[in-house]
Amino acid sequence: MHGAGNGAATDRDRKSGRFSIGNDARNGKRKRLVELRADLDRELGADLSAADRVLRDRVIELLARRPRSHNDTVRTVNAADRILERLRSRYAKDEIIPSLQELGL
């Protein structure tokens, strides 16, 4: 049995657990993390303070994890959500609500 039936990753070396030679699956994760950072930067704006950039990076780290249990998954997502809410409240873009005159009413 080569491990495909028992949930073992087929893109990794069976003995060391490292990616096999020539496998670029790790690049997919790196690409997803870069996309997530770009999405957060677009949402929050580019003028984050140094401390808030650290918090943004922590959110990315938390969301990139693969928790071992359901409880750890919930805790990780909740922690990321709390940090994101704090950042969103600081950098929320004010929506401009048009007046009735501007709407033509």
Tell me the three state secondary structure of residue 17. Answer: coil
Count structural domains, the chain.
1
Residue 69 lies in a domain: yes
Per-residue model confidence as pLDDT tens digits over 48-76:
899 999 999 999 999 888 889 999 999 99
Range of the domain at 57: 25-90
Identify whether 104 is part of a domain. no
Does residue 63 lie within any of the structural domains? yes
* Mean pLDDT in residue range 38-51: 87
pTM over 0.85: no
Which string of DSSP letters, residue by residue, matches 29-63? Answer: HHHHHHHHHHHHHHHH-S---HHHHHHHHHHHHHH
pLDDT score, position 99: 76
Q: What is the amino acid identity at position 26?
A: R
Specify the pLDDT at position 17.
75
